[in-house]
């Protein structure tokens, strides 16, 4: 039986992973979080405070694998005085603290959920990111994730602990927040959107597909000391994404075919150039390594995952 510890077990990705492992008869799992949620009634979840200061020794006893999902997440408007220092405190120092303690007690494998932002912010259409591309993070969050990867590799090299680094693209699924939730709300309310002529390509990953891939990384012998990018294996334009969301919600997305150049110009005049980039840029990843090395393909289609996301959204209305 595998003994697994998950950090960030109450977060968006971590909670789904924790739930999947609780239902797995071949695993014994302990979830670690900063603060226990109100009404928590499971002994498999423990609160250990901040990552960079936590004593994980009790939770890590006899553990085979750590799956580290906890992080200071990327935020669009960061109010910290020094955002990079805050990201480093949690994402770099916290990862180093956990990895050192895991190595000391003999954990065999450390699976680290990083970010595609380590690779960069955009790709040329048809030229996806590869796992071995030279990293090119552009913001504080991406820099902190790259530094966390580097410190993890150093600790593993010294201790003989295996690492697996996974860089997801944008994750969607039940409970999704931020921009994806806003898009679903716009489509649900029938808001006309000037996004009917956007011909970029972006990779996304469904929460259930990411969970399945992380479990494969925890178990597969050939995952050791490798870096992976993960997506649904289907890339969508912003226009296609909104149409797919509409179909899942049983609503017709009201899209106006405004040329992207015109939209970018208008948003730029309004000081919203960064929004135009996110709507119009391509960001694609190549997951052929996952298929070839780990014999993994995404178990859920985009349509299946989007319908599940939509049902959870509608249930919350």
The pLDDT tens digits of the residues spanning 245-287 come to 999 999 999 999 887 777 777 767 667 667 667 777 899 999 9
pLDDT at res. 316: 76
Tell me how many degrees the CA angle 8-225-74 measures, rounded to the nearest 5: 35
Catalytic residues: 141
Is it the case that residue 76 has pLDDT exceeding 60?
no
Q: How confident is the model at residue 232 (pLDDT cuts 50, 70, 90)?
A: very high
State the sign of the Cα–Cα–Cα–Cα dihedral 116, 122, 125, 131. Answer: negative
Beta bridge partners of 227: 165
Is it the case that residue 78 has pLDDT exceeding 60?
no
pLDDT at res. 146: 97
Exposure string of 9-46, with b = 16+ CB inside 10 Å and e = fewer, is bbbbbbbbbbebbeeeeebbbbbbbbeeeeeeeeeebb
The pLDDT tens digits of the residues spanning 9-63 come to 999 999 999 999 988 878 888 888 888 777 666 678 888 888 888 889 888 988 9
DSSP symbol at 8 = S
The pLDDT tens digits of the residues spanning 153-193 come to 999 999 999 999 999 999 999 999 988 999 999 999 999 98
Instruction: Give DSSP secondary structure letters for 255-289.
Output: B----HHHHHHHHHHTT-HHHHHHHH-BB-B--HH
Is it the case that residue 308 has pLDDT exceeding 70?
yes
pLDDT, averaged across the chain:
90
Map out the domains of the chain with their CATH numbers.
2-168 (3.40.50.720)
Q: Measured between alpha carbons, how far is 17 from 62 in angstroms, rounded to an integer?
A: 20
Cβ atoms of 3 and 63 within 8 Å: the answer is yes
pLDDT at res. 246: 96
pLDDT top residue among 290 and 271: 290
């Amino acid at each position: 039986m595998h003994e697994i510890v998950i950090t960030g077990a109450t977060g968006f990705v971590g909670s789904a992973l924790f739930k999947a492992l609780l239902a797995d008869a071949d695993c014994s799992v302990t979830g670690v979080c900063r603060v226990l949620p109100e009404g928590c009634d499971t002994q498999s979840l423990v609160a250990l405070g901040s990552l960079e200061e936590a004593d994980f020794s009790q939770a890590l006893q006899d553990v085979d694998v750590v799956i580290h999902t906890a992080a200071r997440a990327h935020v669009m408007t960061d109010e910290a005085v020094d955002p990079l220092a805050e990201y480093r405190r949690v994402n770099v120092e916290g990862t180093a603290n956990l990895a050192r303690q895991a190595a000391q007690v003999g954990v065999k494998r450390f699976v680290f959920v990083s970010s595609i932002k380590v690779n960069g912010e955009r790709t040329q259409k048809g030229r996806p990111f590869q796992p071995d591309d030279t990293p090119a993070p552009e913001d504080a969050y991406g820099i902190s994730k790259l530094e966390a990867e580097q410190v993890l590799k150093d600790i593993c090299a010294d201790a003989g602990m295996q690492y697996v680094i996974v860089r997801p693209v944008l994750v969607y699924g039940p409970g999704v927040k931020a921009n994806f939730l806003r898009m679903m709300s716009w489509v649900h309310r029938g808001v006309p959107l000037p996004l009917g002529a956007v011909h970029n390509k972006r990779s996304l990953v469904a929460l259930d597909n990411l969970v399945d891939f992380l479990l494969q990384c925890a178990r597969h012998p050939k995952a050791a000391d490798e870096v992976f990018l993960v997506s649904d294996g289907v890339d969508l334009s912003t226009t296609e994404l909104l149409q797919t969301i509409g179909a899942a919600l049983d609503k017709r997305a009201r899209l106006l075919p405004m040329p992207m150049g015109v939209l970018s110009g208008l948003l730029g005049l309004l000081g919203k150039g960064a929004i135009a980039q996110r709507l119009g840029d391509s960001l694609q990843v190549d997951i052929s390594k996952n298929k070839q090395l780990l014999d993994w393909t995404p178990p859920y289609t985009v349509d299946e995952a989007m319908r599940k996301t939509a049902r959870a959204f509608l249930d919350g209305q």
